[in-house]
């Protein structure tokens, strides 16, 4: 899938997505060819910002043992991509996707 197609799909989604929409976008982004991401860096950053906003607002509360690995894989993928291609994705943006379900439960029970 091309990054422009993902952008088009995102335009049909609410700003604060449900967890299945977040996971869909993450899975699609991780399948985009690296050259497409680099050539369309502005679109890529906008998609990452949208995911970050949604996940910070609501998505993190829906992280479970069953879905946390997708977010952790995305986190690792962003770190590698950022390092390999010097994309300057902010560390705080990347870290949003690094919460485990246990950490979320601990945060919610304080």
Q: Where are the chain's structural domains?
A: 3-108
Better-predicted residue by pLDDT, 110 or 28? 28
Average pLDDT over residues 36-56: 97
Average pLDDT over residues 7-25: 95
The whole-chain average pLDDT of the chain stands at 95
Residue 99 backbone class (left: φ over 0; alpha: ψ -120 to 50; beta: rest):
beta
Question: For the whole model, what pTM was predicted?
Answer: 0.94
For 62-83, b where at least 16 C-beta lie within 10 A, e where not — what string?
Answer: ebeeebbebbeebbeebbebbe
Q: How far is the C-alpha of 97 from the C-alpha of 51, rounded, in Å?
A: 9
Percent of the chain with pLDDT over 70: 99
Average pLDDT over residues 84-91: 95
pLDDT class of 28 with cuts at 50, 70, 90: very high
Model confidence at 108: pLDDT above 90: no
If one counts every other C-beta atom within 10 angstroms of the C-beta of residue 50, the result is: 19
């Amino acid at each position: 899938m091309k990054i422009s197609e993902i952008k088009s799909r995102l335009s049909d989604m609410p700003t604060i997505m449900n967890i299945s929409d977040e996971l869909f976008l993450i899975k699609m982004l991780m399948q985009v060819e690296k050259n497409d991401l680099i050539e369309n860096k502005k679109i890529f950053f906008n998609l990452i910002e949208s995911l970050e906003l949604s996940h910070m607002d609501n998505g993190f509360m829906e992280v479970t043992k069953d879905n946390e690995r997708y977010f952790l894989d995305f986190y690792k993928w962003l770190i590698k991509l950022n390092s390999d291609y010097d994309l300057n994705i902010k560390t705080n943006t990347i870290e949003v996707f690094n919460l485990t379900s246990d950490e979320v439960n601990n945060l919610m029970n304080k």
